[in-house]
Amino acid sequence: MPPPRRPADDPPAPLRGSRLPEGFVRAEGIPDDAIVTVFSVRLEQSGHRLDRWLSLELPRLSRSRAQRIVEAWAFDARGRQLRPAHRVRAGETVVVFRPRWEEPEVPRDVTIVHADDHVVAVDKPAGLPVHPTARFHQNTLTAVLGERFPGERVVLAHRLDRETSGVLLAARTPAAERALKCDFAERRVHKTYLAVVHGEVRDERFTVDAPMALEGGEVNVKMAVRPESRGGLPSLTRVEVVERLRGFTLVAAHPETGRQHQIRVHLAHAGFPLVGDKLYAHGDEVFLRCLDAPPDAETAALLRLPRHALHAHAIAFTHPATGAETRLLAPLPADLRDFCDAHR
């Protein structure tokens, strides 16, 4: 069966990369080796001040640092400088330059799970950021894909948190990019995650149906369960037990919606936080202690794992070129296998 036709006027996917827009005039004084990041403002971000918007796009960037960067090196698509108080508009292109810095080491051994002329699927290792952030530029999955497929624009169709491992889809053509992102937006892509959680889950299966929103506290990326009357967006995760361990459980989670940190928040809300989760298992203090330095011995013993125990195990989607139903797998990585083996 051929793939369903896509409307010709599908909105373009948000632009995020390092290729300057056509017609951009580079201002004098920007170092040749400056890091370039090109963004497209999403609909839900329209109206934000530019400095506030940038601190949300790059969560590890403080508001004051975002303001300094904007004052010096933020431009529109033609190269005109923008000011911190500029109100961003949906679809607007923002070009940000930043001085180059020495990045933390990350694993860059990315396994290609599948590749054809239209789609690439990778098994992302834990610790590798997907997109550039305030701390990472070259040590990202987008940079690795640029090295693996030189001269091509390989665009990720979705994302995973830095500490989450597993399968990720990317498009090699504009048509595949539009089709995959449309399918993600319409919830036609089905994902299965494996997670190791604290506690021995009794029920074989359960569902967490709990709306979510940004918590709004000191940690500006933290999500929380909130009723829809207080801004929560509908969020649903189906969970089933894979194996019960001594004091822990290996579960499979099937998110029906795609909210930020959804599985981590929902499992913690159900009383079974992820092993190693610095943000949702042990309170904000632990997360803040680990922001700029490795955890000390006491914190490491509390966390049990250097990263949160979440792995994107399987993804099922309609191939954008052939229409074939496709399912791809990334096996449980060694660190999570070893943890399970030690607690059987």
Which of 80, 100, 120 is where one domain is finished? 100
| Domain assignment present for 254 | yes
CATH number, domain with residue 201: 3.30.2350.10
Inter-residue contact 180 to 154 (CB < 8 Å): no
Domain limits for position 42: 1-100
Query: pLDDT tens string for the chain (344 positions)?
Result: 333 333 332 333 344 556 788 889 988 878 777 878 899 998 888 999 998 888 888 766 667 777 888 888 899 999 999 999 999 999 999 998 877 666 778 899 999 999 999 999 999 999 999 987 767 767 899 989 999 999 898 999 999 999 999 999 999 999 999 999 999 999 999 999 999 999 999 999 999 999 999 998 878 789 999 999 999 999 999 999 999 999 999 999 999 999 999 999 999 999 999 999 999 999 888 888 887 678 889 999 999 999 999 999 999 999 999 999 999 999 999 999 999 999 99
Which of 41, 76, 100 is where one domain is finished? 100
pTM assigned to the model: 0.75
How many other β-carbons are positioned within 10 Å of the β-carbon of residue 131?
Answer: 19
| Domain assignment present for 22 | yes
Burial of residue 271 (number of CB atoms within 10 Å: 0-12, 13-18, 19+):
exposed
Q: Tell whether 197 and 306 lie within a shared domain.
A: yes
Per-residue pLDDT at 1: 39
Per-residue pLDDT at 37: 85
CATH number, domain with residue 28: 3.10.290.10
Q: Into how many domains does the chain fold?
A: 2
| Domain assignment present for 38 | yes
| Domain assignment present for 154 | no
| Domain assignment present for 56 | yes
| Secondary structure string (H, E, C) spanning 302-325 | HHCCCCCCEEEEEEEEECCCCCCE
Amino acid letter at 133? T
Inter-residue contact 199 to 241 (CB < 8 Å): no
The catalytic residues are: 161
Nearest to 264 by CA among 156, 140, 343, 164: 164
| Domain assignment present for 174 | no
The alpha carbon torsion through 109, 110, 116, 120 (nearest 10 deg) reads -160
Per-residue pLDDT at 243: 98
Nearest to 220 by CA among 267, 164, 260: 260
Amino acid letter at 289? R
